[in-house]
Amino acid sequence: MANWVSVTRTAHFNAAHRLHVAEWTSEKNREFFGLCNNPNYHGHNYELHVTVSGPLDSVSGYLLDMKTLKDWIEEDVERAFDHRNLNLDTEEFRNLNPTAENMAVVIWEKLKKRLQPDMKLKIKLFETPRNFVEFDGTQS
């Protein structure tokens, strides 16, 4: 029996992107994504909240070392996406539309591999200060 706690570390990166579905016509893309389909790209400051949940270690008083979590985020997310063009400069979004929703799923999949199996992970990604998405691995 242990106390189940969550710890959250925030991070920040900025990138250019263009929302575009390759299987659709230019017209449908323009209509569906509006200004976000601009062929010359636009960009965002992405604010990321990474939440890990699991059993609190009663000796150290830690769930996991936040500095380690910070390093994982730097390696898996910041080095991969910061100051990049998501569509052109990254493997992850070469064939995947870089919506905030897809970005949250991709970041979840990368960081989940870092965690011990009894830990849970939740990603919250702000695309602007007024819009954010969340993903915690749930399937429907």
Q: Which is nearer to a second copy, 54 or 76 (CB)?
A: 54
Tokens of 37: 């389909």
Nearest to 110 by CA among 88, 62, 67, 78: 78
Nearest to 36 by CA among 94, 88, 97: 97
Contact status: 115 vs a second copy (CB under 8 A): no
Q: Which of 30, 74, 92, 96 binds a second copy (CB under 8 A)?
A: 96
Q: Is 127 a catalytic residue?
A: yes
Tokens of 129: 């200060």
Tokens of 70: 């910070």
Find the shortest distance in angstroms from Cβ 76 to a second copy.
17
Cα 41 to Cα 37: distance, rounded to the nearest angstrom: 7
Q: Is 83 a catalytic residue?
A: yes
Find the shortest distance in angstroms from Cβ 47 to a second copy.
8
Find the shortest distance in angstroms from Cβ 99 to a second copy.
4
Which amino acid belongs to residue 9? R
**Active-site entry in 44, 83, 92, 101:** 83
Contact status: 110 vs a second copy (CB under 8 A): no
Cα 83 to Cα 20: distance, rounded to the nearest angstrom: 20
Q: Is 119 exposed, middle or buried (0-12, 13-18, 19+ CB in 10 A)?
A: middle
Binding site for a second copy (CB under 8 A): 1-10, 12, 14-17, 19, 21, 23, 32, 34-36, 38, 40-45, 47, 51, 54-56, 59-63, 65-67, 82-85, 88-89, 96-102, 104-105, 118, 128-135, 138-140
Active site residues: 36, 83, 127
